[in-house]
Amino acid sequence: MDDIEELRSLIDALNERVSALEAGKTRGPKAERPMTEADAYRVKFGDLKGVNHKEAAKVLGLSYGQIFSCRGSYTFKGVKDKTRNDDGTEIAK
User: Furthest-apart CA pair in the chain: how many Å?
Assistant: 81
Domain that holds residue 66: 28-71
Give domain status of residue 19, yes or no.
no
Chain-centre distance for alpha carbon 18: 22
Give domain status of residue 82, yes or no.
no
| pLDDT average, residue stretch 85-90 | 81
| pLDDT average, residue stretch 36-57 | 93
Give domain status of residue 59, yes or no.
yes
DSSP conformational letter for 1: -
Cβ neighbours of 56 (radius 10 Å): 24
Counting residues of the chain whose pLDDT is more than 90, the rounded percentage is: 57
pLDDT on residue 82: 80
Total domain count for the chain?
A: 1
Give domain status of residue 35, yes or no.
yes
pLDDT > 70? residue 26: no
pLDDT on residue 27: 65
Give domain status of residue 52, yes or no.
yes
Asked if 46 and 88 count as a contact pair (C-beta separation under 8 A), the reply is: yes
